[in-house]
Structure 1
Amino acid sequence: MTRLPSSTEPVTGLPPVVPERCTLLVLGSLPGRVSLAASRYYGHPRNHFWALMEGVIGEPLVALDYPERLARLGARGVGLWDVIGSARRGSSLDDDIREATVNPLAPLVERLPYLRAVGCNGALSARGAMRALAGHDLPIVALPSSSPAYTLPLAAKAEAWQALRAFILPPG
């Protein structure tokens, strides 16, 4: 795969999407080009995130419109954000991220009284969350990346992502 040189202009991530009763915060690294262009978390149609979360919450997500997906996650106590707030990036691959600015994760976490865990979508997210949230008494669950570029079979990803079930609100 040919990698593009780092862009000259930094890209800025998306704002956090956090329900009132957030029990689980799922952190990515930084949205890719397709997601940023659509202003949607995990907006690339080949990204496995929505299918993985569908398995975690046991409810349909993939077939829903984006606002409905967010509402369904919110009803189950799941919030979304990213470790990186902005960076220079030549492609959508995490390996191409340069000059990253970290999002203020600790202040957000401190404002979430129901938060029980942080799930990290990929290795870069996990490393960033562990640094940013060091000293917080909160489980950080490192997960295989939902990106199709991470070639672990979907079934293996889904099995690992089941660890998040313990931290979501029950249906209804």
Structure 2
Amino acid sequence: MSAVQGFPPVAAADARLLILGSMPGCASLDAGRYYAHPRNAFWPIVGELLGFAPELPYVQRLQALQAAGVALWDVIAACERAGSLDADIVAGSVHANDFSAFFAVHRQIRDVFFNGAAAEQAFRRHVLPGLALPGLRLHRLPSTSPAHAALDRAAKLAAWSAIVALPNK
């Protein structure tokens, strides 16, 4: 069992939506980048929806997200986990990120999209009870992880199109 630490948020001041994962997997932690596993569909799906090439250098992909008003982070700041699977996270070891401080700075965000059920469950359990943000809309999307093989890429892309279907409020 090893202790793992997540990444800081990627968010411009004018972000209008937030995409949350649970905790970066081993490939991402080793690379120091969000969604670094070569079979994770996050960058191909989000790139297609937001109009940028998923092969762009990492910094340019992050800039494209921010230019589109999309913030990116994880629910869990630190935990103990063996391997990369969310199922391997030791429940009592979870330390959530400081969402009160995040939302105090990013006041335009009204929609939170979860990259999979584990992210949503962690947010509802560890963050939502202490968060006073009326009107925050929560949306679960299918995980882009290669471990989530129940849906093919086309079905995931169709579900993820919700991030571009929001009104610009």
TM-score, with structure 2 as normaliser: 0.89
Residues 23 and 168 in structure 1, CA contact (< 8 A), matched pair in contact too: no
| 1:93 alignment counterpart | 85
Once the two structures are TM-superposed, the CA of residue 74 in structure 1 deviates from its matched residue by 0.5
Structure 1: unaligned runs, 5 residues or longer:
1-6
Once the two structures are TM-superposed, the CA of residue 130 in structure 1 deviates from its matched residue by 3.0
**Which amino acid in the other structure matches residue 35 of structure 2?**
Y
Distance in 2 of aligned mates of 1:61 and 1:109? 29
Residues 24 and 168 in structure 1, CA contact (< 8 A), matched pair in contact too: no
Deviation per CA, 1:66-117: give whole Å up to 9, x if none: 0000000100011111001111111111000112111112321232122131
**Paired residue total:** 161
| 2:46 alignment counterpart | 53
What is the aligned-residue identity percentage? Answer: 41
TM-score, with structure 1 as normaliser: 0.87
Matches within 5 A, 1:32-47: 32-47=25-40
1:129 to 123, 133, 143: 123
Distance in 1 of aligned mates of 2:102 and 2:3? 23
| 2:3 alignment counterpart | 10
Distance in 2 of aligned mates of 1:21 and 1:146? 25
* 1:143–1:86 distance in 2 versus 1, CA, 3 Å: same
Distance in 2 of aligned mates of 1:69 and 1:166? 20
Structure 2: unaligned runs, 5 residues or longer:
none
